[in-house]
Each structure stands twice: as structure tokens, then as C-alpha cells.
Amino acid sequence: MNRIEKLHREILEKLDSTNRALDRIAALLVSNQLLQECVSPEGEARTAEDCAEIVVESFRAGLCLHENMLGDQQSFKYQVSEFYVDGEDEEDEDFEDDQDDDSTPASSIPYKF
């Protein structure tokens, strides 16, 4: 059990370091967006509340896009499982059966011109 506990600790340490790195990346991305939104396209300074509102709206839009992507991904997986994966397996089996039944090689069939 000692080995399992050691592996468990290593995994937790790696997850912890990954989470810290992801937190830094998220903080940098938000800071970058805040800096970009501090000035309007017309060159006027925006208030902190306006910048925060813009960031919140873009976060919500990102969540909506993520939900749409998950829905589309599930729909795609369904279509693949229903129409492509099952169909290809049956066609491959039929193709193999056809080849096994034919005992005459194709090169021995005479061609007529």
C-alpha cells in the first residue's frame, strides 16, 4: 500500500501544480482583457465598473459558447455512433464474406473484348 500512497501523493502534487499554473494563466488572461477594455475604441477611458461589466459579459458569452460546443459534440458523437461506426462494421463483414465465398480467382476469368 505504501507504493500506492506514494503514487497518489505524486498525482496530487502534479494536480496541485497544474491548478496553480491554470490559476496564473486565468489571472493573466483576465488582466490582459481588463487592460484592453480600459480604453474604448474611441480612445476614451472607461470606469472600473464598465470594464468589469464587459469582462463579465464576455465570460458569460464564453460559457454559452462552451455549452453550445458540448451540445454539438454530443450530437456529433451520436451521429457517428448511429450512422458511421455501425454501418462500416457491417459493410466490412459483408465484403469479407463475399471474398471468402468466391473460390475462383479474378485473374482466371476470361475477358471478352
pLDDT at 95 over 80: no
The number of CA neighbours under 13 Å toward the Cβ of 91 is 6
Identify the DSSP state of 108.
Answer: G
Tell me the C-alpha distance between 44 and 32, whole Å.
18
pLDDT at 113: 39
Strand partners, 39: 45
Tell me the C-alpha distance between 34 and 47, whole Å.
11
pLDDT at 24 over 90: yes
> CA triplet 55, 59, 63: central angle to 5 degrees?
170
| pLDDT tens for each residue of 1-18 | 788 889 999 999 999 999
pTM value is 0.47
The arithmetic mean of pLDDT across residues 72-89, rounded, is 75
Phi, psi of 112 (to 5 degrees): -110, 130
